[in-house]
């Protein structure tokens, strides 16, 4: 694990500070999609002491170098995701949970046609719907009677 992170840092040329290491390690270890605040608390709780600003700095550096990906969630604190493996996301309308989905390919031709002259670096796919827990009625049903 240590080595995996070492390599990741080496590969991207990003200087590895203890703080950056801890942030990335947390994201790799915990597959949920944490907010900056959660990471801040979690890492501080364990060993290292690091400031809020450092969490943001580290996250930005990691995103910049591609080791971490921001998961865009509307109307809430953004979440982050170590992406040493490719995957898509599913967000539940009702409870807001973010789940990982297996990677599936895209219609590259159609996509490039739509993109026109733009240089595409990455594609982000998010499915929205109802997660299995919510579908089973584990959470309160939507207020609409209709």
Partner DNA sequence: CCACACTCTTAGACTAAATCTAAAGTTGGA
Partner DNA sequence: TCCAACTTTAGATTTAGTCTAAGAGTGTGG
Binding site for a copy of itself (CB under 8 A): 13, 70-75, 78, 88, 90, 93, 99, 101-107, 110-111, 113-132, 135, 146
Among 60, 86, 133, 138, binds DNA (CB under 7 A): 60
| Min CB(2)–a copy of itself separation in Å | 26
The answer to whether 97 contacts DNA (rule: CB under 7 A) is no
CA atoms within 13 A on the CB side of 30: 15
The nearer residue to a copy of itself, 10 or 123, going by C-beta atoms, is 123
Which one of 3-11, 26-34, 43-51, 109-117 is the stretch in contact with DNA (CB under 7 A)? 43-51
Nearer to a copy of itself, 130 or 139 (CB): 130
The item of a copy of itself, DNA, none sharing an interface with residue 15, based on CB under 5 to 8 Å by kind, is: DNA
Secondary structure element (H or E) that encloses residue 7, with its range: helix 2-12
Cβ distance 52 to 59 under 8 Å? Answer: no
**Cα(75)–Cα(137) distance, rounded to whole angstroms?**
25
Out of 12, 42, 57, 63, name the contact with DNA by CB under 7 A.
57
CA angle 2, 19, 97 (to 5 degrees): 80
Distance (Å, whole) CA 94 – CA 80 = 21
Decide whether 63 or 100 has the Cβ nearer to DNA: 63
Nearer to a copy of itself, 49 or 109 (CB): 109
CA of residue 57 relative to chain centroid, distance: 16
103 contacts 87 by C-beta, under 8 angstroms: yes
């Amino acid at each position: 694990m240590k080595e995996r992170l070492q390599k990741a840092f080496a590969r991207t040329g990003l200087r590895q500070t203890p703080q950056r290491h801890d942030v990335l390690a947390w994201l790799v270890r915990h597959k949920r999609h944490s907010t900056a605040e959660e990471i801040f608390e979690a890492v501080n709780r364990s060993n290292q002491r690091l400031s809020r600003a450092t969490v943001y700095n580290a996250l930005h550096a990691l995103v910049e170098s591609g080791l971490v990906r921001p998961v865009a969630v509307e109307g809430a604190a953004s979440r982050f995701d170590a992406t040493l493996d490719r995957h898509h996301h599913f967000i539940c309308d009702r409870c807001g949970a973010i789940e990982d989905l297996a990677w599936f390919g895209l219609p590259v031709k159609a996509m490039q046609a739509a993109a026109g002259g733009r240089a595409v670096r990455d594609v982000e796919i998010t499915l929205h719907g109802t997660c299995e827990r919510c579908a089973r009625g584990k959470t309160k049903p939507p207020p609409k009677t209709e």
